[in-house]
Amino acid sequence: MAKSRNNLLGVGGQRKKLSRAEQQGAGSARTADRKVAEDKKQELVRKMRERAEAQTATTAAEPGEQDDASPSAAQS
């Protein structure tokens, strides 16, 4: 906690200083970098989900084929 009332550091966080271009509405390279990083993350998550779905599909198909064969043999 801050020791004096004039020093509010840590109470609500710090606000970053805006450049003149940012104050006038122009975007910064920082926001572009964040967007690129977010896009990369989304692409990685998509790939991981596809791999997980493919893996579960193959593992589910293997035991499913064996399970389907055994009840039909038992019914015969």
Q: Is residue 23 part of a domain?
A: no
* Residue 40 lies in domain: 28-60
Q: Is residue 22 part of a domain?
A: no
Contact 9, 2 (CB under 8 A): yes
Q: Determine if the pTM surpasses 0.75.
A: no
Candidates 5, 8, 27, 9; CA nearest to 18 is: 27
Low-confidence ranges of the chain (pLDDT < 70): 1-14, 27-28, 63-76
Q: Is residue 13 part of a domain?
A: no
Q: Is residue 42 part of a domain?
A: yes
Q: Is residue 45 part of a domain?
A: yes
Q: Is residue 20 part of a domain?
A: no
Q: How many distinct structural domains can be found in the chain?
A: 1
Q: Is residue 35 part of a domain?
A: yes
What pLDDT is attached to residue 40?
A: 96
CA distance 44 to 40: 6
CA distance 10 to 5: 12
- Name the DSSP letter for residue 27: -
